[in-house]
Amino acid sequence: MPRGVKAERPPPAESVEPLQASTVVILHPGSMSLWLGRATDHLPQSIPHVIAWRKPPGCPVDLPDQSLLVREGIDHPDSETQKELALSVIEQAIWSRKSSSGSRKHQTTVSQVSAFNAKVEPELHVDDESSIKWTDTSTAPPIIVGEQALYIHPDEPYSLHWPMRGGHLNLHDGPGGSLTAVCADLETLWAYAIQTHLAIPLRDLGYYRVVLVVPDSFDKNHIKEMMNILLCKLGFSSAIIHQESVSSVFGCGLSAACVVDVGDEKTSICCVEDGLVVPSSRLWLQYGGRDITRAFFWLLRRVSFPYKECDANNRLDVLLLHELKETFCHLSQDIVGGQVHEFQVHRPFDTPRSYQLKIGDEAIEAPMGMFFPQLFGIVGEKLVYTKDHQYDDPEDLYDDRYLLESQRTQDQSSKSGGSKAGPNIELVPEHDQDIAAVIKTGNKDMKLVSEKSLGLDQAILHSINCCATEETKRKMYSSVLLIGGGFMFNGAANMLQSRLQAKLPAPHRKLVDQVEVIARPKEMDPRTICWKGGAVLSILDSAQELWISQREWITIGVRVLRERSPFIWTICS
């Protein structure tokens, strides 16, 4: 059918049996973890979102291991200088803050900490057995899924594949990087998780519905492929797709919020009001919890980290570093530095070892990198994005390309265009996905260039400032929702709140009594809030008309998403 011919409107949702929450499966896939469960479950289960494929005999190809602390842009000659400069700024920011009692933070010098750690020797526990075992591959299974894949011996002929990365499908030029191969990995992973963790046979999925919670930045072309997996490959009877930001707001019982989702590899920021994302407020930062881990390791080595064999290219060492970060890092001014801690190193078939470790300000400096991302030492990469990838699908007559062409034709035929309220964004070419827009707010122009890395607090202020009305901005400042697993530190919410309050634009100080950051609403785990919101949305009466049945998907295809998607499917209407 040629472009410009109006597509047939999808028929209304088929009449189905009344929804039973016990037959609704909620899937929330991320770069590192897959969260899943029934809508009736109080909490979801999770598995590492990774699959290992056995390599053919004689195959010399080794894929880069995404679980390691490596990324482009950190081996640049200027990287070390950038980190040192950022660290000096962070130190000043820490020392200038006061504790809850009003006293200044006590400074622990690097030389004092380093002198103690340099003398530490490991203590062997000869009577104990290591808690870590290599995965048994004696039967040469063709695939290994989840946590077992992380503990495959490095010499075994397996390569690890992570289907998602940075909020997108992990497409690359190497083996297993095609769209077909990545979708096959997703199908295998999800089928394994559903059978193993939910005890649902695949043959019974025709009696179940599924809710898929996806990142706000997810490519619409890839959403189509994921719908194919759920409805055609796995065989669910019907499906709904929800965005992470909207799901998180529902999961907390809020009506509006500026959602700040700090993941392992990226940070997503956007404003949600009345169940819809404010399109102009969307912002993605290409750094997250993994970068904090890398920065913490760099800081520990500066103070003579006693586990000298620790290697950022060793998967087991990286898992240990993640654990040390989550255990010791914080953003509280009340925690005194210079304390001595203890940690253990377990390796398969090796005697467990314990080390003493003295930590000064390194524990607070590493997470401060979220406000001063130069500490991550990433040079030459674009770290800030504001635009979706262009949606171009030959099966959808009204994709972005057609709508942009139509809009351009209308603009050319129009004598004059009236200005609309709210921020005015000068669009850049569709292929340019970085932040090359000039955003005009009031009488000021704020130009964000791709080379400049925004701190988390700056990015939040920018996102809220892009909302159209002062009333919406007031709501967002009063409800900043901090979710995700990358910034779960003691004192993180208070630190972020104080920095936002201090940088609040002068015109808004009269409107906003107090900036409020919500980190653990109802004592919920920030990592599970999106999943919980998907479960809540699935059983709402207003959501029942959004279900897309398997027959509708096979008959109509991606066009049905424009009618049933709970978020804006195309960039203009």
Q: Is the CB of residue 213 less than 8 Å from the CB of residue 26?
A: yes
Helix (H, G, I), strand (E, B) or coil at 480: strand
Q: Token match 């004059």: residue?
A: 416
Q: What is the pLDDT of residue 396?
A: 61
Helix (H, G, I), strand (E, B) or coil at 481: strand
Residue 307 reports pLDDT greater than 50: yes
Percent over 90 (pLDDT), the chain: 58
Band of residue 10 on the pLDDT scale cut at 50, 70, 90: very low
> HEC profile for 273-324?
ECCEECHHHCEEECCCHHHHHHHHHHHHHHCCCCCCCCCCCCHHHHHHHHHH
State the average pLDDT for the chain: 84
Question: How far apart are the C-alpha atoms of 366 and 329, rounded to whole Å?
Answer: 7
Q: What is the pLDDT of residue 3?
A: 38
Residue 8 reports pLDDT greater than 60: no
Residue 77 reports pLDDT greater than 80: yes
Band of residue 232 on the pLDDT scale cut at 50, 70, 90: very high
Least confident range of 23-32, 47-56, 101-110, 470-479: 101-110
DSSP label of 522: G
Residue 254 reports pLDDT greater than 70: yes
Tell me the average pLDDT across 11-37. 81
Residue type, 108: T
Helix (H) or strand (E) holding 34: strand 33-38
Tell me the average pLDDT across 25-35. 96
Residue range 398-407, pLDDT digits in tens = 555 555 555 5
What phi, psi does 562 have (nearest 5°)?
-65, -30
Tell me the average pLDDT across 433-458. 51
Q: What is the pLDDT of residue 450?
A: 41
Nearest by Cα to 569 from 402, 370, 338 = 402
Q: Is the CB of residue 271 less than 8 Å from the CB of residue 463?
A: yes
Band of residue 418 on the pLDDT scale cut at 50, 70, 90: very low
DSSP label of 144: E
List of residues 6+ apart from 558 with CB closer than 8 A: 224, 227, 393, 395, 396
Question: How far apart are the C-alpha atoms of 184 and 233, rounded to whole Å?
Answer: 10
Tell me the average pLDDT across 120-145. 92
Q: Is the CB of residue 269 less than 8 Å from the CB of residue 455?
A: no
Band of residue 171 on the pLDDT scale cut at 50, 70, 90: very high
Q: Is the CB of residue 243 less than 8 Å from the CB of residue 534?
A: no
Tell me the average pLDDT across 189-207. 96
Residue range 507-566, pLDDT digits in tens = 777 777 789 999 988 788 999 999 999 999 898 888 888 999 999 999 988 888 888 887
Residue 446 reports pLDDT greater than 60: no
Percent over 70 (pLDDT), the chain: 83
Helix (H, G, I), strand (E, B) or coil at 414: coil
Q: What is the pLDDT of residue 531?
A: 96
Q: Is the CB of residue 238 less than 8 Å from the CB of residue 15?
A: no
Band of residue 410 on the pLDDT scale cut at 50, 70, 90: low
- Residue 120, judged by CB atoms within 10 A of its CB (0-12, 13-18, 19+), counts as middle
